[in-house]
């Protein structure tokens, strides 16, 4: 499961091929004759999208119950065209190959994050190796529009509460682009720290929180080398004006909490329902922290069990992750944690921070909440399946086979009766 240090170092040399950052692109629409519009849907069905990163597809499963598979859609229908462009540009090719050998663990990264637009007629997907965001017609499977991000890699996204906009991290451009989800037109952007990663819209849609993780593709992983990991911070931007509202440097907060030896690279996060507290993971740590938003302080820490079979050599952790993935049930009483390098997931009581059973999982990479809020759904990237865990008991419910290297899992809506392009 672990990537050898030698392979990671070799890939990093390929990835450091250029320092220039390209200007942000603009959405390119496909002519209507090439991509006929899907018929209007009278009804929508809630589903879950499972992004198969190395395969370029999304599996669609039920959002509740037995989580049975509904259909599949190809999210890189324009693959040949994109590869032609990349191989004709030496700088883009260097970054493309660098992504493959570093964060891609020897594979191209075709699907990172994805959401449906409000009427379910399209899936909007960030495609890291293609450095873009694309809209794929759910009726025909054809490309509707694409937006090239600044730099050479796209990453995590977030959708606004009203479903009209999507925010995407341009990880080498240190920028978050905010796009109209239906047209791909950029409505705004803001600058971030190094390697922007997770994005979260607040519930009222007023702010966007972005967490930059810094440089995860070097071997300066020892605590005393932490200063070599880049400018890592949380940037809070106004979602209407895209002006920076606040910057939170977790280095200072961790130091004040007595954790000077911990990384301040904030990975996945989860807010309480009232958004008064933020729970967050950091690089190399088998656990998480609690942050009080009003007092601007870290208030608690939870250390989770180590897997005895997992090496403590930080250079063997995939992209500096120890644990990567967390979600919270709708009532805010339980957290679900993906112990990526420790090969388990567990439900944690938020009041006591007591963990439940350790559910064995193969490199779980993400955790989200089922449509009815009763289950946590994790992606097992090492086993090509997703697994549902009961929030109430902490026990496994079921596992569903999916495509190659599932990562992000999102609740979405598609036309009722949809089973795949051309089958709806």
* Per-residue pLDDT in tens (0 to 9) along the chain, 424 residues: 443 333 333 333 333 333 333 344 567 665 444 444 444 446 999 999 999 999 999 999 999 999 999 999 999 999 999 999 999 999 999 999 999 998 999 999 999 999 999 999 999 999 999 999 999 999 999 999 999 999 999 999 999 999 999 999 999 999 999 999 999 999 999 999 999 999 999 989 999 999 999 988 777 768 888 888 889 999 999 999 999 999 999 999 999 999 999 999 999 999 999 999 999 999 999 999 999 999 999 999 999 999 999 988 888 888 889 999 999 999 999 999 999 999 999 999 999 999 999 999 999 999 999 999 999 999 999 999 999 999 999 999 999 999 999 999 999 999 999 999 987 5
In a domain, 354, yes or no: yes
pLDDT recorded at residue 79: 98
Distance of CA 88 to the CA centre of its chain: 29
- In sequence order, the 6+-apart residues with CB closer than 8 A to the CB of 19 are none
Distances (CA, A) of 85 to 15, 74, 77, 92, 132: 18, 20, 15, 9, 13
Distance CA 143, CA 278 (A): 37
Distances (CA, A) of 204 to 162, 262, 275: 9, 32, 10
Distance CA 361, CA 353 (A): 21
pLDDT recorded at residue 316: 85
In a domain, 161, yes or no: yes
pLDDT recorded at residue 70: 98
Distance CA 120, CA 137 (A): 9
In a domain, 387, yes or no: yes
pLDDT recorded at residue 424: 53
Q: Are 207 and 239 in contact (CB under 8 A)?
A: yes
Residues in the chain: 424
In a domain, 81, yes or no: yes
In a domain, 356, yes or no: yes
Tokens of 261: 């030896």
Q: In sequence order, which ranges of 190-337 are alpha helices (DSSP H)?
A: 250-257
When computed from its CA atoms, the radius of gyration of the chain, rounded to whole angstroms, is: 20
Residue 303, H or E segment: strand 297-303
pLDDT recorded at residue 326: 98
Distance CA 400, CA 409 (A): 13
Residue 270, H or E segment: strand 266-271
Pairing of strands 334-339, 287-292: unpaired
- In sequence order, the 6+-apart residues with CB closer than 8 A to the CB of 102 are 8, 11, 12, 14, 15, 217, 319
pLDDT recorded at residue 28: 66
> Rounded to 5 degrees, what are φ and ψ at 83?
-65, -35
Distance CA 279, CA 257 (A): 15
Mind giving me the DSSP string for 128-168? GGGTEEEEEETTT--EEEEEEPSSS-EEEEEE-TTSSEEEE
Report the b/e string of 306-343 with b at 16+ CB within 10 A: eeeebeeebbbbbbbbbbbbbbbbeebebbbbbbbbbb
Cβ neighbours, 10 Å, residue 71: 17
Task: Look up the domain containing 262 and give its range.
Answer: 5-19+44-415
Q: Nearest 10 degrees: CA dihedral of 259, 265, 271, 276?
A: 50
Instruction: Read off the CATH number of the domain in which 257 is found.
Output: 2.130.10.10
Q: In sequence order, which ranges of 316-393 are alpha helices (DSSP H)?
A: none
pLDDT recorded at residue 38: 44
> Rounded to 5 degrees, what are φ and ψ at 349?
-70, 125
In a domain, 69, yes or no: yes
In a domain, 28, yes or no: no
In a domain, 217, yes or no: yes
Q: Which residues pair with 61 in a beta bridge?
A: 48, 69
Report the domain count for the chain. Answer: 1
């Amino acid at each position: 499961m672990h990537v050898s240090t030698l392979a990671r170092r070799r890939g990093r040399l390929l990835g450091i091929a250029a320092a220039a950052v390209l200007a942000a692109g603009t959405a390119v629409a496909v002519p209507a004759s090439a991509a006929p519009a899907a018929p209007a849907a009278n009804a929508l069905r809630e589903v879950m999208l499972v992004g198969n990163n190395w395969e370029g597809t999304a599996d669609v499963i039920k959002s509740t119950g037995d989580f049975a598979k509904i259909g599949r859609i190809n999210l890189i229908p324009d693959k040949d065209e994109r590869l032609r462009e990349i191989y004709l540009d030496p700088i883009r090719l260097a970054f493309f190959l660098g992504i493959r050998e570093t964060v891609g663990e020897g594979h191209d990264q075709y699907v990172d994050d994805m959401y449906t637009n409000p009427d379910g007629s399209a899936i909007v997907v960030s495609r890291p190796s293609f450095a873009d965001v694309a809209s794929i017609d759910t009726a025909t499977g054809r490309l509707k529009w694409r937006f090239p991000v600044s730099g050479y890699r796209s990453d995590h996204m977030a959708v606004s509460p009203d479903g009209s906009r999507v925010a995407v991290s341009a990880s080498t451009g240190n920028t978050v682009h905010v796009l109209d989800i239906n047209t791909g037109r950029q409505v705004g952007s803001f600058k971030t720290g190094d390697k922007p990663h997770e994005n979260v819209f607040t519930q009222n849609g007023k702010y966007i929180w972005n967490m930059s993780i810094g440089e995860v593709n070097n071997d300066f992983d020892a605590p005393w080398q932490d200063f070599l990991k880049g400018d890592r911070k949380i940037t809070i931007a106004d979602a209407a004006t895209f002006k920076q509202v606040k910057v939170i440097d977790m280095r200072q907060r961790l130091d004040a909490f007595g954790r000077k030896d911990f990384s301040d690279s904030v990975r996945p996060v989860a807010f309480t329902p009232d958004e008064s507290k933020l729970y967050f993971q950091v690089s190399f740590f088998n656990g998480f922290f609690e942050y009080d938003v009003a007092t601007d302080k870290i208030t608690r820490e939870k250390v989770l069990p180590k897997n005895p079979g997992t090496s403590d050599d930080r250079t063997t952790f995939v992209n500096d992750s120890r644990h990567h993935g967390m979600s919270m049930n709708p009532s805010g009483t339980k957290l679900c944690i993906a112990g990526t390098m420790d090969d388990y997931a567990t439900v944690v009581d938020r009041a006591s921070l007591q963990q439940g059973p350790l559910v064995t999982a193969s490199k779980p990479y993400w955790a989200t909440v089922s449509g009815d809020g009763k289950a946590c759904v994790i992606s097992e990237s090492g086993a090509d399946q997703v697994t549902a865990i009961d929030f109430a008991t902490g026990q496994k419910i079921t596992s569903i086979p999916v495509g190659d290297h599932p990562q992000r899992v999102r609740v979405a809506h598609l036309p009722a009766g949809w089973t795949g392009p051309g089958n709806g």
